Amino acid sequence: MKSRILIIEDNPANLELMRYLLNAFGHATVETVDGEAGLGRARSDRPDLILCDIALPKLDGYGVAAALKADPASRNIPLIAVSASAMMSDRQRAVDAGFDGFITKPIDPESFVASVETYLRDVTSGDTRT
Q: How far is the CB of 53 from Mn ion (least distance, A)?
A: 4
CA-only gyration radius of the chain, Å: 13
Q: Indicate which single residue of 24, 55, 70, 73 sits in contact with Mn ion (rule: CB under 5 A).
A: 55
- Under the binding rule (CB under 5 A), the answer on residue 53 touching Mn ion is yes
Which 8-state DSSP code applies to residue 53? -
Scanning 4-12, 25-33, 73-81, 92-100 for contacts with Mn ion by CB under 5 A, the matching segment is: 4-12
Select the span of 48-56, 65-73, 89-97, 107-115 touching Mn ion (CB under 5 A): 48-56
Three-state DSSP at 49 gives strand
Question: Which CB, 60 or 115, lies closer to Mn ion?
Answer: 60
| Distance in Å, CB of 15 to Mn ion, minimum | 10
The size of the interface with Mn ion (CB under 5 A), counted in residues, is 3
Task: Single out the segment in contact with Mn ion by CB under 5 A; choices: 33-41, 53-61, 72-80, 110-118.
Answer: 53-61
Question: Peptide bond preceding 72: is omega within 30 degrees of 0, i.e. cis?
Answer: no
Residues of this chain that interact with Mn ion (CB under 5 A) are: 10, 53, 55
